[in-house]
Structure 1
Amino acid sequence: MAELVKITNDNLGTVQIWGFHGECSVRDVAAALEKIAAGLKGDSHTIHVMSGTHGYCGVGQVGAVATREQRFAEEDRALAHPVTADNKAIAVAVHDFNTNKLPAPDYVSAAMAKLNKDIRNIVAETPGIPTFLLAYCCSAGTKLRW
């Protein structure tokens, strides 16, 4: 079961980045879109779903909303109808930030460099304050169990 986690600080007017502890499914992503949206207010919001991999998934998962063979299907997108706290519609954009093999030997650095570059480009090209959901397992790190 995936646990949704806000990765960034709660600073008003800054980009929000959310991710998961544990494996996530398309349904987890749809539920996350609804939860994130409920915390937003106003018009012109877009949640950017970053589907891909951090490069070292123990179960080989590439992303909850995309695999190497297929993209996030329209019927999967229909699972979520995110609206803000004040009932404004939110656009959802899906980005396959990394669904290929990563350069060795440091998969983690390669994935993070690509993710950071892609997020910066989206922020620079998107009006308003975009929100990001990292839709792949352990995108918020692994949760320690004692």
Structure 2
Amino acid sequence: MVTHRESGVSGQASERRSQLDNREAAVFRLRLNLAISLRCDKPVQDEAALPSEMWRSRAVGGKLVVSPKHADFPALVAEALDWVFAYQFDLSSAAKQRLGLSTSQLVKFLKLCPEAWQLVQQNRVDAGLPRLK
């Protein structure tokens, strides 16, 4: 188990034979758990605020190209969630106005991480918005 001291968020893995492989998997899961648990404020009112260079390099032609196993995946999940939270769970506005994606592409991306998708759905319900398919 690997734990982020400041937040108490952890990740663990024990399914592999190699201790090194388990540690790498645990760190990846820690990064994903941090991406889901912690938010950075994004300035919706600032028209000049752009997604990160990493996001822009992967959002090509309205699609986000990344594997859920890639090292960049947790950072991209965090960024998507930051913008979704900033737009008060209006995925369409976050996708089109900031992330350079269609709404369906953002939904498809978030569904790659069930915990992130569940977080979005629960916050939409809490905000009085309907659940998405």
> Structure 2 length normalisation: TM-score?
0.27
Q: Hey, which of these two has a bigger chunk of strand by percent?
A: 1
Quick check: which one's helix share is greater? 2
State the structure with more CA Rg.
2
User: Which of the pair has the greater relative contact order for Cα pairs under 8 Å at 6+ separation?
Assistant: 1
